[in-house]
Amino acid sequence: MRTLTRSWLLLPFLVPSTAQPQEIRCSYSRRTVCDTHECRSLATQQAFLLVPTHPLQDVGFSDALEMRCDREGCFAEMEVRMCDGSGCEPIAVRIQENGDFLMVGSVSRSYLLVIARANVDSFTLRGSWRGWGVEQMPMPSMRVGDFVEVKTLHLVTLLSSGRCPSIPPRLPR
């Protein structure tokens, strides 16, 4: 009976006080770092992203989270983690749906992650791209889970792309 009592006494310490959401591991296929002088490729084999599943659940983005709204629209606040062989760097982000894409951006840091939530065929974006000197921009095809990531620090920019294979597609509205 004493053993059973001890087991029950330990039970509250075995249950985490705050539940951590499940995370999806996203793999990089390309990483490039650019400064004011050049761009160079970075290794991708040990680097990955951890994205929380809460905004990606089948119940739909706005139903799965406590949403906050301001002048710029409604969003959820969460955390994405950039990881490599030496550990992970958490980044507090706001997550918003934008059509077929999930927009993940940091308010306090220069960070943007865009994840496709639908399969999109290649197309040409037409319109004025002021300052770029182009009228048309070819857009590649995308699959559910493809992502692009941009992180800046001073005048250095990290550009990455890859795939989150477990991302569920966007629900039809």
Residue 153 covered by a domain: yes
- Backbone φ and ψ of 5, nearest 5°: -60, -45
Residue 150 covered by a domain: yes
Residue 117's alpha-carbon distances to 57, 87, 159, in angstroms, are 12, 28, 20
Residue 14 covered by a domain: no
Separation between Cα atoms, residue 145 and residue 20, nearest integer Å: 22
Rounded mean pLDDT, 4-22 = 35
CB atoms within 10 A of CB 120: 17
150 or 19: which carries more pLDDT confidence?
Answer: 150
> What's the confidence (pLDDT) of residue 60?
44
> What's the confidence (pLDDT) of residue 2?
42
Separation between Cα atoms, residue 150 and residue 5, nearest integer Å: 53
Average pLDDT, rounded, for the chain: 75
pTM: 0.73
How many residues would you count in the chain? 173
> What's the confidence (pLDDT) of residue 102?
85
> What's the confidence (pLDDT) of residue 140?
85
Residue 97 covered by a domain: yes
> What's the confidence (pLDDT) of residue 123?
78
For the chain, how many structural domains are there in total?
1
Rounded mean pLDDT, 35-49 = 93
Residue 67 covered by a domain: yes
**Which residues form the domain of 100?**
21-163
> What's the confidence (pLDDT) of residue 83?
92
For residue 101, pLDDT beyond 90:
no
Residue 46 covered by a domain: yes
